[in-house]
Amino acid sequence: MDLLERAPLLDELDGVLAATTTGGRVVLVAGEAGIGKSALVRRFAERHSADARFLLGACDPLLTPRALGPLHDLGRHTGGRLAALLAAGSPREQLFAALLDELDRGARPQVVVVEDAHWADEATLDLLVFLGRRMDRTRALLIVTYRDDEGKLVDYVSEDVKPSPADLARGETRKMDCLDCHNRPSHAFELPERAVDRAITEGRLSRDLPFVKKKAVELLRKEYPDRATAEKQIADGLLDFYRTGYPEVYRQRRAAVESASVGWAM
């Protein structure tokens, strides 16, 4: 069957595949159900059956999603180490790394297709993030298809409803936070000490700045009217602490102090 109106897209995909000789690429194919995402990818695979190796994986609309379903599909195509690791139930990092190694194998460019990512389980979404961030180090092409008509919101409003959508549009908007719905004791907050430890372990706060934990915990413990103010005052607080209390550290370790004052308290 001939695909209608798809020649430009197929040519574009050809171009992206050719460009993988200088570094891997990612292509997202989005569109409503039945628009022809799979047909496009299938035709592309047919066109390159001789000059590229296609690894196909698909997500399914299962009630209990299969963890890493598409990766298992890919493993069946590749065999070898990836398949062995999958069969052994190996940890995710090893599986993801094995797939990445697989993409560097062989002379032909490789195309990984993950179909229907709108049904992806969480582990597969992690895999896509992992791959997406590393494709440029490979010579492969990752194609992800998904429906973009999921989650559409249609409001049906009865005419006698008060306030009407027009009234609401004229009203004041206030962003809610957690405490609008439940009280402080019922909300699982991370203890300041633990949040700071985590920021230090994850390298968001430099552990060798003097008294960094003490000061950061103290700043986290304070009350702030809202999140934006908290973020600003915590950042400024740390900066001031070193600028006024430890001017020598501030001068010599300016970058560490500044990065400690930006966004670590997320």
Which residues contact ligand ATP (rule: CB under 6 A)? 3-6, 31, 33-39, 116, 147
Could you say which residues in the range 20-39 bind Mg ion, by CB under 5 A? 37-38
Cβ 149 vs Cβ 95: under 8 Å: no
Least separation in angstroms between residue 152's CB and ligand ATP is 14
The residue with its CB nearest to Mg ion is: 38
Helix (H, G, I), strand (E, B) or coil at 233: helix
Cβ 26 vs Cβ 103: under 8 Å: no
Amino acid 139 reads R
Nearer to Mg ion, 37 or 215 (CB): 37
Amino acid 14 reads D
Nearer to ligand ATP, 9 or 217 (CB): 9
Least separation in angstroms between residue 44's CB and ligand ATP is 12
186: number of Cβ within 10 Å: 9
Least separation in angstroms between residue 108's CB and ligand ATP is 25
Nearer to ligand ATP, 41 or 249 (CB): 41
Least separation in angstroms between residue 144's CB and ligand ATP is 12
Least separation in angstroms between residue 124's CB and ligand ATP is 16
Element holding 244 (H helix, E strand): helix 227-245
Cβ 33 vs Cβ 145: under 8 Å: no
Nearer to ligand ATP, 10 or 52 (CB): 10
The residue with its CB nearest to ligand ATP is: 36
The tokens describing 97, both together, are 């790394």
- If 0-12 CB within 10 Å is exposed, 13-18 middle and 19+ buried, where does residue 33 land? exposed
Binding site for Mg ion (CB under 5 A): 37-38
